[in-house]
Amino acid sequence: MACFLGIIPFSPKIQDEIIPVIPFWAIVSFGAFLLFRLGYGVFTFNDVPEAHKELMQQIEQAKNELRSKGVEVD
């Protein structure tokens, strides 16, 4: 914030061209990091057998509940 407000002096080129885009760069970098974590989590999902087993049980439970209500699944 101090750089953006000009409290810390920089050369005019840095102050006018680089400092204003740092917040956008930070948001884009944070978004890229979150997308990487999401992708890595999806990629390594099968490496967590307990979670896979629990998810499959929940899917089967949902199918059974839908069948009991007359909805055709599969």
pLDDT of residue 51: 84
CA–CA separation, 51 and 57 (whole Å): 10
Residue 13 tokens read as: 């080129």
Closest of 45, 34, 41, 1 to residue 19, by C-alpha: 1
46 vs 8, residue with greater confidence: 8
Buried b / exposed e along 38-49 (16+ C-beta atoms within 10 A):
eeeeeeeeeeee
pLDDT class of 14 with cuts at 50, 70, 90:
confident
- Residues 15-69: tens digit of each pLDDT: 889 888 999 999 999 999 999 999 998 888 777 788 889 999 999 999 999 999 9
Is the model's pLDDT at 70 over the cut of 80? yes
